[in-house]
Structure 1
């Protein structure tokens, strides 16, 4: 259905929602594959130690600390270039990334050494940032309406969960076809996903657009990307990066996001090992359990979309985090009771975890689409690229830290790469990671969510105040409106609309 935005807005139709959402096959699908399988691939099939695998993630994150924010900053200012005017300041990067996406398959080529896997992982991470950061700006570019943005987020997460289902079941299907001990399982999986990434990125480019910014440097044809030389560009880049943290709603959003996603990264990295070594399962059984969990997550996203459109995202987040925590603790309880992975009881924690995880995947990305609106009332600017750069960097950095942390902790706990059985100490370490690590992160997210006030009602007030200030006003329309925007922004009303250090 078209959005009910002002008549000057371009209508958002079903094909736009579907094309936008399908790109999360790359966004969430690649992350699901990496977090769920890369440690198993490196340690059980490639002969790397858990410490070497963790080092790969650490090196990639150091490089990404520069690359992701730089891409976000450049995309904010790319509209003044010839390429930006022809292809779009965001969409140019999406188009350029398409022929580079087969780099994902190269990550999973078996029989290589440490340096090959380091370089191939870093290469894909850079291509991923090049495509995903501009993608994450497009919902805010294509609409200003709360419900439309929520639908964009819903479409995105539904496709992401569908790709996660594929990430869960595909190894099982390939294992059945190629044999239990074949490392080619993961290479063929990489080829299939790389092909899907290229198709969905192409659809995104064809069925998306960007907001025209009258009076901006991009609109009048200036090119500020390289103004003042590389030193000035880097200085402006990190000033923008850190200034996003001065928006209160964004800080709280990040707290909820990290609580929900780091908990899943820890769970994903430890779960397969836990099923194989603690619950006497196999790679195939772990694949089936993960796939089933992702199916439950898909259903949970549909429920969460309706809750987020009607009620407070914070309340929905708290219920979802509690479901996930109970599922994790139930899984640990089954291990203590000696229940194997083949028991029907294993489906209880799988369902509980799936219900919680699905909603936790949707809610932070639904609220993220409104962060540039909160920033606009503070700065008077549209900085979607800066926020997308921060989000992508934080997402990849925390995922890598979680997966690398699991690797280092498992190695310290006595895990032996390639071994058919593990010591009691190593298995206990896996259980502690699933219990303490996962549930601890969820507790942090729940605590932050109690302070988060963004909702459909407060967003409507925010957008009205933005138009009020844009018309030249300097005082709030009402005391209630002032209280709402001050809570969301973290700034006094008389400091809004550029009258603060953030806008400098």
Structure 2
């Protein structure tokens, strides 16, 4: 890799992109189900059907974009603008589509089309972007700083996503969809500006470097390209470190998706004021506090991961989140006269845990292509980014889908300012039980995860040895490290396995 100095402006530009990545997801996971069922006349089932349809289409688009990103260097546009950064460029005007999702009073087909279109734009930009940390540097600490910058900006955008509705209601119409339209428009314009900055201050491997790793003259047929696309997609799951990483990632993120989807209903119907507007303001205030705590938490977990390694740090984050959930359960059981101070404490503790759960998986992700390289002898950052984006959006959709249908089955009444006691019990059961179950899975998986600064150093050393075709005997401890990370015997590495072969 050609060495270039990574400066502060590069860290900031790279990190700023998570205003789209995390910001859009924060707005969607926190408000979209509530918006659809309150201001758009959709039932919970209709609203969640939109997410289900989008995920079916995403099963095709996300892997396809990742595959295209990996192979786009083969044509003139890719060699001129970059196989990654070309997609950033065309995403700048398309990201305005986010604002179209938040127009109230439309029909089901309108919301389906606008949601699906933005999901495609989101994948078109985010998948190539997610490869850039590995493209810009192979240094462990530099990549950790890239991940830290990204998550800090993402937490900032999440604060804005929760605080902005309350702020807009102070100056706009109460109890109307107008608040959410201005929320969507504000974020859409921000996305366009930020993607422009990312495009201006990032880089990727040169076409010559990519040619050295791949056969630039290879021109597979359309049928072969499609077969290879899905073969590559599933082959990522044959990398042991990536499978464990996905388990930790989903444990951290699905738990938050479940909590976010239900928390708004909990505040609105159990703690809300006389109007929807005041309830939205209450929710915004509590979630804003939580995301502020998450921001502080990320700054704490960046050095903690470098000192302790990712897996132990992950377990600390899970423990904090679990503590907050048990306190929340105690409040529901005891029904204190004034629960607000306690709920503030709960969201602050939860935020400290959630910040770590947000940072650690994306920090670890930056090293997955290195583990893959020692198995395949190729660089497939785009493929892994496609899998990550597909998994992330699918997990979020499943969580929201499940919440919607469970609420509907419990007797939830769309558009009502009050709900029955069974519905409130259901909300709490989902928020506590569902979140705890997913966190437990992530915690158990983290006990088997071994990638850290030291093992990554061994990994990069062995990759360099393979590139030199060094036939010297390999110490047993180094063999053990790369076999544990890759899930393959040492003799099968560097393309001597079904994953590394094209045929």
Aligned-pair Cα RMSD in Å: 1.6
Separation in structure 1 between the aligned mates of residue 473 and residue 307 of structure 2, nearest angstrom: 26
Cα deviation 1:161-201 (Å, max 9, x = unaligned): 00000001001101222233021000000000001111110
Matched, 1:464 2:458: no
Q: Report the equivalent of 1:360.
A: 357
Query: Residue 102 of structure 2: SS of its match in structure 1?
Result: coil
Separation in structure 2 between the aligned mates of residue 343 and residue 476 of structure 1, nearest angstrom: 64
Is the 1:79–1:221 Cα contact (8 Å) retained in structure 2?
A: no
Q: Report the equivalent of 2:423.
A: 426
Q: Report the equivalent of 1:10.
A: 4
Q: Report the equivalent of 1:176.
A: 170
Query: Where does 1:126-145 land on structure 2 (aligned, <5 Å)?
Result: 126-145=120-139
Cα deviation 1:290-321 (Å, max 9, x = unaligned): 01100000000000101111221000100101
Q: Report the equivalent of 1:185.
A: 179
Cα deviation 1:238-289 (Å, max 9, x = unaligned): 0000000000000000000000000000000000001111234511101110
Query: Residue 502 of structure 1: SS of its match in structure 2?
Result: coil
TM value normalised by structure 1: 0.96
Q: Report the equivalent of 1:395.
A: 392
Separation in structure 2 between the aligned mates of residue 474 and residue 399 of structure 1, nearest angstrom: 47
Aligned residues: 496
Is the 1:474–1:494 Cα contact (8 Å) retained in structure 2?
A: no
One of 403, 411, 414 as aligned partner of 2:411: 414
Q: Report the equivalent of 2:281.
A: 284
Q: Report the equivalent of 2:329.
A: 332
Cα deviation 1:118-137 (Å, max 9, x = unaligned): 00000000000000000000
Task: Provide structure 2 residue ranges, at least 5 long, that are not aligned to the other structure.
Answer: 274-278
Query: Where does 1:68-467 land on structure 2 (aligned, <5 Å)?
Result: 68-212=62-206, 214=208, 216-217=210-211, 222=216, 227-229=220-222, 231-280=223-272, 282-339=279-336, 343-467=340-464
Query: Residue 497 of structure 1: SS of its match in structure 2?
Result: coil
TM value normalised by structure 2: 0.96
Is the 2:73–2:207 Cα contact (8 Å) retained in structure 1?
A: no
Separation in structure 1 between the aligned mates of residue 82 and residue 205 of structure 2, nearest angstrom: 10
Matched, 1:486 2:483: yes
Cα deviation 1:441-471 (Å, max 9, x = unaligned): 0000000000000001110111011101111
Aligned in 2, Cα 1:213/1:482: closer, same or farther, shift over 3 Å?
Answer: farther
Query: Residue 418 of structure 2: SS of its match in structure 1?
Result: coil
Query: Residue 202 of structure 2: SS of its match in structure 1?
Result: coil
Query: 1:219 offset after TM fit, Å?
Result: 8.7
Is the 2:92–2:195 Cα contact (8 Å) retained in structure 1?
A: yes
Is the 2:305–2:360 Cα contact (8 Å) retained in structure 1?
A: yes
